[in-house]
Amino acid sequence: MKFNWGTGIVIAFVGFISFIMYFVISMNTDKALDHDLVTEDYYKQELEFQNDIDKENNSKSLTKNLSWKKTNEGIIITFPESLEINSITGNVFLYRPSNKQFDFETDISLSNHNLLIPDKRLLDGRWNIKVDWQYNGKSYLYKKEIIY
């Protein structure tokens, strides 16, 4: 059999298509490469986007906004000292972009102006923190991308 240009082109196309098919199949079936980068209810979250903007604007109007710091015990979220802690309600949602199984939500329950997220619940790496809280009927929102 004689090898000519036509045969070479056909072999190259078949090889390229085989490589692409192998790549697509292996990427879709390998669980180690499965990353959930969006939340389950992103359509619902999109509808609430204007409310989030209003809540963030309320947070910016505070004389002092929330702050956080990393300690050996975990993450400490500090609420403004000028606010009465009994009137603060809401929840804290920590979102792990690389794996949704580590996402969790906790209610705000304060005995002083600090809220501790324990170290045992957090892995090293990137987290998105979202504190949705209310004070005297007014809603506030604090969002931050953090590295723990």
**Number of domains making up the chain:** 2
Q: Are residues 94 and 22 in the same domain?
A: no
Domain match, 64 and 22 both: no
| CATH number where 113 lies | 2.60.40.10
- Asked if 109 and 134 sit in the same domain, the reply is yes
Do residue 109 and residue 143 come from a single domain?
A: yes
Does the pTM of the predicted model rise above 0.75? no
Same domain, 68 and 101: yes
User: What is the H or E stretch that residue 93 is in?
Assistant: strand 88-95
Q: Are residues 58 and 121 in the same domain?
A: yes
Q: Are both 70 and 142 inside the same structural domain? A: yes
CA 105 – CA 40 distance, rounded (Å): 15
Are 20 and 50 found together in one domain? no
Query: What does the pLDDT look like over 65-123, one tens digit per residue?
Result: 888 999 888 889 999 888 888 889 999 999 888 877 888 899 988 888 888 888 888 88
Q: How far from 116 is each of 16, 54, 102, 148, CA to CA, in Å?
A: 54, 26, 17, 14
CA gap 58, 39 in Å, rounded: 25
Given pLDDT bands bounded at 50, 70 and 90, which one contains residue 39?
A: low
The C-alpha atoms of residue 115 and residue 56 are separated, in whole angstroms, by 20
Residue range of the domain that includes 78: 42-147
Residues 77 and 102 in one domain: yes
Query: Are residues 21 and 81 both part of a single domain?
Result: no
